[in-house]
Amino acid sequence: MTDADATKPRRIAYLMSRFPKISETFILYEIVALEELGHHVEIFPLVCEREPVQHREAERLAARAHDIRLVSGAVLAAQVHWLKRRPRAYLAAWGAALRGNLRSPRFLVRALAVVPLAATFALRMEALAIDHVHAHWATHPALAAYVASRLTGIPYSFTAHAHDIYVDRPMLREKIKRAAFVVTISDFNQRFLERLYGRLATERVVVVHCGTDTSLFHPPATREPGPWTIVCIASLQPQKGQVHLIEACRRLAAEGVDLRCLLIGEGETRPLLEAQIREAGLEDRIELLGHQPRHRVVELLGAADVVAQPSVVLASGKMEGIPVALMEALAMERPVVATAISGVAELVEDGVTGLLVPPADPTQLTDALRRLYRQPELGARLGRSGRERVVQDFDLTRSARQLAERFMAGVGGRGAAG
């Protein structure tokens, strides 16, 4: 690779499970940041999403996404193409995918769809002169990147976040071995993978934090007077732990705290949470706002007195990575209360950039919220320190630049076809 090659903008293919997905802002804005740095990104979702609420930037990028349906002439033609042109590589990719997912019926069924889609992606990637393939999530998207790389020789990498390595890990060792490099979003995750895969993970896995736009998420000039406001931004899923926040609100309201709590997000636990709110008699204090676009999230965070993230670890091992919502809150100098799980402490240092409590402990969650209610000066200090931490270690442009440097170094590296 010449010096000129080392500095020229790259053509990068991004693979993900669904796009655009409103709860995965970290992927959307990572793509935006890479393009602002001069690189061109082609978007290859396994499923093109059609959510009713979208961030503004998603509309533009969604129009460019490669919407390939599994049952289509394009997919059939791609299988015939690779069978004729590179039969050994094509059959080897199928063999690896089937063997690697054999122990999990759920993953095996999905592999039957991912491999033909990946072969179709590979054909388009060649036509588009893609330099590097990057996937978000170590599961199905990483499998698609693996297959596309085996067929084309284009180097690939992937970002591992949370449940994609904590719960099910089909053929993860093979994916890591074939990758030019692997990104993960926390030191916790890096140590986790090193315990599983030893030297292989030590050599291949690098930490690049997800980041937030610190020019958009900044301290508001003023705040309207009103009830003491708690904001929680998280999809409504069991591991997000909103049930414990509602219980904490019930206890604080019983003590006479004039509060309101805004839950931003959507998901499977909505009926459970609605019932809990009704039983606690908090319908006039707790609102389920559903999905909200980015500009509205900025407004709601600006009105918050505290941001809570009461995540838990499920019996399956499913849990958070480092929630981007906490980065956004701290960037706006909002004090945060979060649970001490996975890599959260790398962002929220207890007593320095926020308050940490044990997971699934509404008593200590209540105590932490009460402490911030009674000591607004503590919240202000934590918020200021929190923004400093985000600007230093979790800034979106900085993280995108680190990724881009890896993409440029990866060209011509691993990923030889076969």
**CATH number where 319 lies:** 3.40.50.2000
Share of residues in the chain with pLDDT > 70 (%): 97
Q: Is 42 found in the same domain as 144?
A: yes
pLDDT of 2 strictly over 60: no
Q: Is 237 found in the same domain as 166?
A: no
Residues of the domain holding 105: 3-211+396-410
- Residue 416 domain-assigned? no
Q: List pLDDT tens digits, range 59-112.
A: 889 999 999 999 999 999 999 999 999 999 999 999 999 999 999 999 999 999
Answer for the pair 401, 35: CB distance below 8 angstroms, yes or no: no
Which band of pLDDT confidence, cut at 50, 70 and 90, is reported for residue 225? confident
**Owner of token pair 């015939």:** 80
Q: List pLDDT tens digits, range 3-53.
A: 556 678 999 999 999 999 988 999 999 999 999 999 999 999 999 987 777
Q: Is 309 found in the same domain as 331?
A: yes
Q: Is 294 found in the same domain as 184?
A: no
Q: Is 375 found in the same domain as 232?
A: yes
- Residue 323 domain-assigned? yes
- Residue 220 domain-assigned? no
- What is the SS3 assignment for 15-55? EEEEECCCCCHHHHHHHHHHHHCCCEEEEEEEEECCCCCCC
**Confidence (pLDDT) at 412:** 43
**Confidence (pLDDT) at 53:** 73
- Residue 221 domain-assigned? no
- Residue 130 domain-assigned? yes
pLDDT of 411 strictly over 50: no
Q: Is 404 found in the same domain as 360?
A: no
- Residue 59 domain-assigned? yes
**Confidence (pLDDT) at 239:** 97
Dihedral sign (CA 38, 21, 211, 411): negative
Q: Is 342 found in the same domain as 255?
A: yes
Does a cis peptide bond (omega within 30 degrees of 0) precede residue 20?
Answer: yes
**Confidence (pLDDT) at 105:** 94
Q: pTM for the complete prediction? A: 0.94
Say which DSSP state 395 is in: B
SS3 306: strand
- Residue 35 domain-assigned? yes
**Confidence (pLDDT) at 57:** 84
**Confidence (pLDDT) at 162:** 96
Dihedral sign (CA 202, 204, 210, 213): positive
Q: List pLDDT tens digits, range 274-287.
A: 999 999 999 999 99
pLDDT of 117 strictly over 90: yes
Which band of pLDDT confidence, cut at 50, 70 and 90, is reported for residue 418? confident
Q: Is 193 found in the same domain as 60?
A: yes
Q: List pLDDT tens digits, range 371-392.
A: 999 999 999 999 999 999 999 9
Q: List pLDDT tens digits, range 161-179.
A: 999 999 999 999 999 999 9
Q: Is 205 found in the same domain as 275?
A: no
Q: Is 161 found in the same domain as 304?
A: no
Residue ranges with strand state E in 29-180: 40-48, 132-136, 156-160
**Owner of token pair 């010096």:** 3
Burial of 247 (0-12, 13-18, 19+ CB in 10 A): middle
Q: How many domains does the chain have?
A: 2
- Residue 219 domain-assigned? no
The C-alpha atoms of residue 366 and residue 251 are separated, in whole angstroms, by: 7
Q: Is 402 found in the same domain as 383?
A: no
Q: Is 50 found in the same domain as 37?
A: yes
In whole numbers, what is the pLDDT of the chain averaged over residues? 95
